[in-house]
Amino acid sequence: MKLFFSRFSLLSFFWQKFLLMLGIAIFFVVTYSLLGKFYWGKAQPLPYTCVDMALPFMEWTFWIYISDYLFLALAGFLMPDYKHLFRFCKAFFITVFFHFGIFFVCPTYTCRAEILGNDISSHLGRIVYSLDEITNCFPSLHVSLTFLAAFVVVKSYRSLFVPSFLWSIAIAISTMTTRQHYFYDVLSGAIVAIVVFTLCYGKFFFKNDTVSQSGVSL
């Protein structure tokens, strides 16, 4: 272990971020998959709202849905130093473990769509459905992590406000058009992101913490 950390410290910050995020991704996939199979009690159905009825099922939006993972990776790589990176990781794990607790104690489920097409988007949708347990619904962890990443990126890079939130909103909508989540999941997921961001960054909220183009905090 000591040898690993000594070699790890010799790597550039880019590769340190890469290995750290790879380890977090592996941990997340394993724990998330296990949690979907073990929960307390019986999963309850979520109510279908007028928003959900107004949004059609669209297979092609699965591409937007899975772009969340790219968005999270980019957010991690945009962290300019260890202070920003570790604060983002702390907020990430608080969000994840809060959701895991809710998923275990109060499991819910949505009624997924039947995918009949044979195009590439339909095949992607079937893969997503097969990998993602139906009970990990409320609040939407997908939405929480997406908006948390957007808040963190915009806090350091104000110029990325528009693309970050347009991307985040598109991902949030895609969770409903893919029938992975309902409106209440999305709304509660966004609220969780706001609360966690405020808790982790609150005392720095009014501090000028933007980053210059050279990657130095201002």
Integer Cα distance of 3 and 126 in angstroms: 43
Q: Is residue 87 classed exposed, middle or buried when 0-12, 13-18 and 19+ CB atoms within 10 A define those classes?
A: middle
- Helices 62-78 and 120-131 cross at an angle (nearest 10°) of 70
pLDDT values of the chain reduced to their tens digit, one per residue, 218 residues: 666 667 777 788 888 888 888 899 899 888 887 776 777 878 888 888 999 999 999 999 999 999 999 999 999 999 999 999 999 999 999 999 999 999 888 888 888 999 999 999 999 999 999 988 788 889 999 999 999 999 999 999 999 999 999 999 999 999 999 999 999 999 999 999 999 999 998 765 445 555 544 444 44
Straight-line distance from the first to the last Cα atom of the chain, in angstroms, rounded to the nearest whole number: 36
> Which residue range is the domain that position 148 belongs to?
12-204
Query: Left, alpha or beta for 215 (phi > 0: left; psi -120 to 50: alpha)?
Result: left
In a domain, residue 185? The reply is yes
In a domain, residue 95? The reply is yes
In a domain, residue 2? The reply is no
In a domain, residue 147? The reply is yes
Give tens-digit pLDDT for 100-145: 999 888 888 888 999 999 999 999 999 999 988 788 889 999 999 9
pLDDT of 1:
61
In a domain, residue 216? The reply is no
What pTM was computed for the model?
A: 0.86
pLDDT of 211:
53
In a domain, residue 145? The reply is yes
Query: Domain tally for the chain?
Result: 1
Answer whether 73's CB lies under 8 Å from 137's CB: no
In a domain, residue 47? The reply is yes
